[in-house]
Amino acid sequence: MGIHLERRQYGFQLNRLMHEERFYRGIGKPDDLRCYEVRFKETDLLCCTRTDLKSYIEDRLFFYRHQLEEYIMGRTAFRDSLAPIHSDPFAPALAKEMIEGSARVGVGPMATVAGAIAEFLGRDIGPLTGEYIVENGGDICLRTERERMILVYAKNSPFSQRIALKLKGRDKPYGVCTSSGTVGHSLSLGRADAVCVVADSALFADGLATCIGNIVKQKDDIPMAIEKGKAFPGVIGILIVVGDSLGIWGDLNIIRV
């Protein structure tokens, strides 16, 4: 079982070095895994693995950051667009999947960046550790053999830090990503306190959380947003918090804490 984490997070802005205090739903440091932080430039990760893979993850994080920074130098639309951009067969694998994943849900590529980095690092360390947690600014990719609890942070909502998602163990990874119109500096066109998507892919969950979050301007928008989100394959569940209103869909185990 986990406890809520509150720590300073530097958002992945590439050339926009804005420091921000970001409070988010947290996954606790499990006593059955080794946990450590990995930082490079603005990216600040919490990683938990069976053995200490910090040096390897640092190398892979540098590799992915460098790829994206170099790619953006030649294609600024990748960084700046709030809508899908054309595919590029010559893009590096990370950028290519971000372009494709964001196009599926109708957002810009950078709406998927935190989940994408968490997912790609998870793929890299997967063969080296049976279980892992990679948390990137509150967006999480994890593979677990036992139950794990993820606390929901939703600013001033009465549900904030009072409910949690309990994920059961399974063979393949989860992506658990959250968008908010009231927490942090990440761009959202909506006003939801929290839109949490649990899916088979962290990259996709990140983009879909942004897409759904853009729809929710008030609590009456929750049913419409859920209908849009649940239509996509690979979505396990959706949780939306707007003030004292809560919307839940899918195979989610929500508990009070």
Domain boundaries, the chain: 9-256
CA distances from 23 to 42, 113, 151, 183, 227 (A): 16, 18, 11, 7, 28
Cα 237 from chain centroid? 14
**In whole angstroms, what is the distance from residue 88 CA to residue 68 CA?**
14
**In whole angstroms, what is the distance from residue 185 CA to residue 16 CA?**
12
The architecture (CATH level 2) of 9-256 comes to Roll (3.10)
**In whole angstroms, what is the distance from residue 72 CA to residue 16 CA?**
13
- Per-residue pLDDT 10s for the chain (257 aa) are 232 322 222 233 332 222 333 444 355 678 899 999 999 988 999 999 999 999 999 999 999 999 999 999 999 999 999 999 999 999 999 999 999 999 999 999 999 999 999 999 999 999 999 899 999 988 999 999 999 999 888 888 898 889 999 999 999 999 999 988 555 445 556 678 899 999 999 999 999 999 999 999 999 999 999 999 999 999 999 999 999 999 999 999 999 98
pTM of the entire predicted model: 0.87
> What tokens does 19 get?
């420091």
Cα 8 from chain centroid? 16
Q: 76: exposed, middle or buried (C-beta count within 10 Å: 0-12, 13-18, 19+)?
A: exposed
